[in-house]
Structure 1
């Protein structure tokens, strides 16, 4: 498959200078833009999946009237956070 070009974006010189000031050693503007676009795509996918799960949960709640108590939800979230912190060594 042939590669494609992302459309050029015109920016103010100040933004271009700011962008260039954060490039890592050996990193090109193209590298940065590609990595940023990939990150934005991944974020949008996670965001979309979150909204879909939230919508499904809302529909299920309105259908059944059954919901988890806030204490249970917060406890589960805290457990997940604790596991993640342990994995990261914090």
Structure 2
């Protein structure tokens, strides 16, 4: 498979120095840039899927009429937290 090139990125010299300052030993700027892009793609894909699942769940709850108001759920969660045993150092 042929490789493709991502367009060059013009940045402020101070920003470039910041980037170079966080490179790991032996890591190239290109490798850092690629890893950063892959991580951001992963994060955005996961976020998009999370939102889609939430919207689908809300739609199912709306259609079924079976849902819990946010304030009611928060109250229930607060009560569960209050009733749970405390760990040492929580105080």
Q: If the TM-score is normalised by the length of the shorter chain, which range does it land in?
A: 0.7 to 0.9
Q: When the two structures are superposed, what TM-score results if normalisation uses the length of structure 2?
A: 0.73
Residue of structure 2 equivalent to 1:17: 17
Q: Are 1:29 and 2:29 an aligned pair?
A: yes
After the TM superposition, list the runs of 4 or more consecutive aligned residues in structure 1 that deviate by more than 4 angstroms.
none
Residue of structure 1 equivalent to 2:44: 44
Query: Cα RMSD (Å) of the superposition?
Result: 1.6
Q: Which has the larger radius of gyration?
A: 2
Inter-partner Cα distance in structure 2 for 1:16 and 1:65 = 54
Q: When the two structures are superposed, what TM-score results if normalisation uses the length of structure 1?
A: 0.74
Greater helix share, structure number: 1
Tell me the CA shift for residue 58 of structure 1: 1.2
Tell me the CA shift for residue 67 of structure 1: 2.2
Unaligned 5+ runs, structure 1: 76-90
Residue of structure 1 equivalent to 2:55: 55
Inter-partner Cα distance in structure 2 for 1:65 and 1:10 = 53
Q: Are 1:66 and 2:66 an aligned pair?
A: yes
Inter-partner Cα distance in structure 2 for 1:67 and 1:40 = 33
**Secondary structure in 2 aligned to 1:5?**
coil
Inter-partner Cα distance in structure 2 for 1:41 and 1:65 = 36
